Amino acid sequence: MRFIKANFPADKSDAVIEILNRAQPIDWSMDSGYGRFEKAVEIVVAKGQGQQIIDDLQSLLSASPDWRVVVMPIEATLPRPTEPEETQDDVEKKAKAKTISLREELYQKVSNDCQLNWDFIVLTILSSIVAAIGLNGDSVAIVIAAMVIAPLLGPILAFALAAALGDLSLMKKATKTALTGLFIGFGFAFALTFFMDVNLLSKEMVDRTVVNPAIIALALASGAAAALSLSTGISSALVGVMVAVALLPPSVASALFLGAGEYDKAAGAALLLALNVVCAVLSAQLIFVWKGVRPRTWSSQVKASRSVKINAAVWVGLLVALAVLAYRFNLQVQSDLLR
């Protein structure tokens, strides 16, 4: 369940009551406002509901000078809400419904997680150093530890959500954060090669130069799982590790190979990284579209639909191009091994 509180001018009271009567939430009450607000209404809605109420309130109040809508999760409530008997139509509607977090909750979450601040930078540096040590030492446990602390989930999801909403500003912010994180991680891993000998026989490193359908499937599953966990309100902690699996090790491996002068292997790991980024973003974007994440207004929905189509076409094109390049790269590697 969710708790929604709206503060608004007194002359909007009748219109707000009409919105609530039409939406039929679990419970609501109206009272005098506080501070600069003249009226306040408190609303309790069931899980997966409330988006239409928030959209209607925003459409009604957006032209007013003083208003605010606050959304909070509810852990428990007493007395427990009684569930009405379901008709056959209710059962069919529930089966077709898509469980999804509120658009505003999704936006706030990904916007916070893709902030380019010192926390993000330090975590990126630490995760890349730990990953470099794990890859070079052929230690699976250390590589996993690096993926746990890697903050790469935020910008990936932010870009995918921005594409679904047609939000160019969030898309730019996510791109800046993602590229900065990857470059910082790559740079620190490369710098480590000046202080330690690179173990070119490490299986963990060599595996990151191989591109195959299983790796692409992993990246697609990672992006889809990330978007699904966010849109349904499920914890994304473990999903963040899945995304880091696809992005962090190949990036660090490429840096280590480059520092060791193994340019072909560095290129192979970089190619794997590029493929994984494309797959993760594409699958996450498709999940958001499937879940019905879209802007509030019709004009914004038209713009978002165009954005989704353009982005999907670009990412699919990149995926095909990189897949062909990876296939040719693997053929060249196999040819070199046979010589």
- Domains of the chain (ranges; CATH) run 2-78 (3.30.70.120), 103-338 (no CATH)
Q: How far apart are CA 107 and CA 165, in angstroms?
A: 10
SS (H, E, C) 48-101: CCCHHHHHHHHHHHCCCCCCEEEEEECCCCCCCCCCCCCCHHHHHHHHHCCCCC
Peptide bond into 151 cis (omega under 30): no
Q: Whose CA is closest to 28, among 58, 39, 37, 55?
A: 39
Q: Whose CA is closest to 30, among 22, 195, 21, 285?
A: 21
The model carries a pTM of 0.75
Residue the block writes with tokens 């130069």: 209
Collect all residues with Cβ–Cβ distance below 8 Å to 232 and sequence separation of at least 6: 99, 100, 101
Residue 65 class from Cβ within 10 Å (0-12 exposed, 13-18 middle, 19+ buried)?
Answer: exposed
pLDDT tens, the chain, 339 aa long: 889 899 999 889 999 999 999 988 888 999 887 778 888 999 998 876 788 888 888 888 888 888 998 888 888 887 877 665 655 555 444 444 455 567 777 788 888 888 889 999 999 999 999 999 999 998 988 988 888 888 888 888 888 888 888 888 888 999 999 999 999 999 999 999 998 899 988 998 988 888 878 888 888 888 888 888 877 766 555 667 777 778 888 999 999 999 999 998 999 899 989 998 999 888 988 888 888 777 765 456 666 677 778 878 888 888 888 888 887 777 676 665 555
